[in-house]
Structure 1
Amino acid sequence: MAAKQVNPTRMELTRLKKKRITAIRGHKLLKDKRDELMRQYLDLVRENMEVRKRVEAGILSANKNFVIAKAGMSEAALKTALMAPKQEINLAAGEQNVMSVNIPTFEYKTRTADENDIYSYGFAFTSSDLDGAVKSLADILPDMIRLAECEKACQLMAAEIEKTRRRVNALEHVIIPETETNIKYITMKLDENERSTQIRLMKVKDMMLEEAHGYSQKE
């Protein structure tokens, strides 16, 4: 029996055959999309792990230098040195479309191109460890921005992979088998109706011959 009630007509059979062709084609395209998304997702995950390690190492180094600097300076002097930032950063957000997923991209520009224009204090009354801490944080800024891109891209691509996987499974295990079952059901019904019609026509022919000539075709 069909999975659900369908009208066993030739028009419905034609519609279901077209639906099956479209579903099979869509299933293949979605599988290809899912596989490509998985490939790019795994690449992003690997990059995310590498960038995260660099960021964590940079933050750890900066924290150590800050602790050493704090030990060699008074708390008031340290707060005064770091009270106002020297460099200014402008961050611009954009989007990149990857397999129908809009992944955020970030670009930043500093107020000046000088990499050493990051110290907001004089060097006479501060520790060199403080310089190292500030430099460590400045150096990991590109990696921190890239890490933010990778983290968000991984989240969005994982959601798209799950959505695509559900669609593939729905086509593979529900829609295509159900359509094929309905096609088989309608085909059997049409064949059965055709045989019944043939038998009725043969009986009518026998009755007409018997009425006209007084004998049946069997005789």
Structure 2
Amino acid sequence: MSGAVGREAVFPTRQSLGLMKSKLKGAETGHSLLKRKSEALTKRFREITRRIDEAKRKMGRVMQIAAFSLAEVTYAVGGDIGFQIQESAKSARFRVRTKQENVSGVLLPQFESVIAENANDFGLTGLGKGGQQVQRSRETYARAVETLVELASLQTAFVILDEVIKVVNRRVNAIEHVIIPRTENTIKYINSELDELDREEFYRLKKVSNKKQRDTAAQDAEILAKRQQEAQQAKAEESKGDVAVTATEEQAPSDVLGQEDEDVIF
């Protein structure tokens, strides 16, 4: 996998190597953070899935009871009381409040049901007959609406978390299988090129050093030979001087007073 992603087109320098190492460290840190975020979101997603299953089962039971209570009201009153309820209800008794929950940086909306106690909706309905059945049916449908609001909140969070988890997992896979291997291959390439440059530089310095040593040795040998030649020349000149002095001494008279001079009269 790492060989298939290739490497980045960078010039192999020390600066590029430092940048790639910083990028690799950042990618590893980001991968770790995104991995933990994905795990936290997945855990919450599974919890919401379990709660949705429970809410749906509860919704089925509550709606079944509500349907039976409505049938009891219809039987007790003797007809449909929907028109009377619509005429009696002036203000909403059941309200929905919205808030947000932060889960690893993801804002999930939550719906809460609020019942206004002071609202007197269809308070006179069922005075003639069927009053208890009407009250019981109203409470049953209130619980059904509360369960419906809870289910809507869970379903909304389920959809949002599903999309966010997909995006986070794609980012985690991209960092793990593309960015990190490509950066590692780039670092390996830069290290290999720098090692090759170091070997070339070492070889060049070694060649230069050997050439300097050879040049120095040749110069030393030349100087030594010149000194020896000068010494031989000086010795030869000294030998010639000694020979000349000896020849002069042999040509000179051994005793000046021993010579006879006719002009000298004693």
Q: TM-score range by the shorter chain?
A: 0.7 to 0.9
Q: 2:36 aligns with which of 12, 32, 37?
A: 32
Unaligned stretches of 5+ in structure 2? 220-266
Cα distance per residue 1:54-110 (max 9 Å; x no partner): 1222223323443554466665x5232332337623322111111111111223332
Q: 1:191 offset after TM fit, Å? A: 0.2
Is residue 2:99 matched to residue 1:94? yes
| Match in the other structure for 1:81 | 84
| Structure 1 stretch displaced more, 16-25 or 57-66 | 57-66
- What is the TM-score of this pair, normalised by structure 2? 0.70
**Amino acid of the residue matched to residue 100 of structure 1?**
G
Larger-gyration structure (1/2)? 2
Structure-1 separation of matches of 2:8 and 2:27: 18
CA-atom RMSD in angstroms: 2.6
**Do 2:100 and 2:110's aligned partners in 1 also have CA atoms closer than 8 Å?**
yes
Moved over 6 A (4+): none
**Amino acid of the residue matched to residue 102 of structure 2?**
N
**Do 2:42 and 2:165's aligned partners in 1 also have CA atoms closer than 8 Å?**
yes
DSSP 3-state at the match of 1:39: helix
**Amino acid of the residue matched to residue 182 of structure 2?**
E
Structure-2 separation of matches of 1:180 and 1:4: 10
| Match in the other structure for 2:108 | 103
DSSP 3-state at the match of 1:83: helix
Structure-1 separation of matches of 2:82 and 2:141: 17
CA gap 1:82/1:111 in 2 versus in 1, 3 angstroms:
same
- What is the TM-score of this pair, normalised by structure 1? 0.83
Structure-2 separation of matches of 1:110 and 1:129: 20
Structure-2 separation of matches of 1:131 and 1:162: 47
CA gap 1:112/1:56 in 2 versus in 1, 3 angstroms:
same
Structure-2 separation of matches of 1:33 and 1:4: 28
CA gap 1:184/1:173 in 2 versus in 1, 3 angstroms:
same
**Do 1:65 and 1:132's aligned partners in 2 also have CA atoms closer than 8 Å?**
yes
User: Identity of counterpart residues, as a percentage?
Assistant: 26
DSSP 3-state at the match of 1:24: helix
Q: 1:112 offset after TM fit, Å? A: 1.3
| Match in the other structure for 2:186 | 182
Unaligned stretches of 5+ in structure 1? none
**Do 2:76 and 2:129's aligned partners in 1 also have CA atoms closer than 8 Å?**
no
**Structure with greater contact order relative to length (CA < 8 Å, sep ≥ 6):** 1
Structure-2 separation of matches of 1:199 and 1:99: 56
Q: 1:38 offset after TM fit, Å? A: 1.1
Structure-1 separation of matches of 2:78 and 2:83: 10
| Match in the other structure for 1:13 | 17
**Do 1:62 and 1:132's aligned partners in 2 also have CA atoms closer than 8 Å?**
no
Map 1:149-188; keep pairs closer than 5 Å: 149-188=153-192
What is the number of equivalent residue pairs in this alignment? Answer: 212
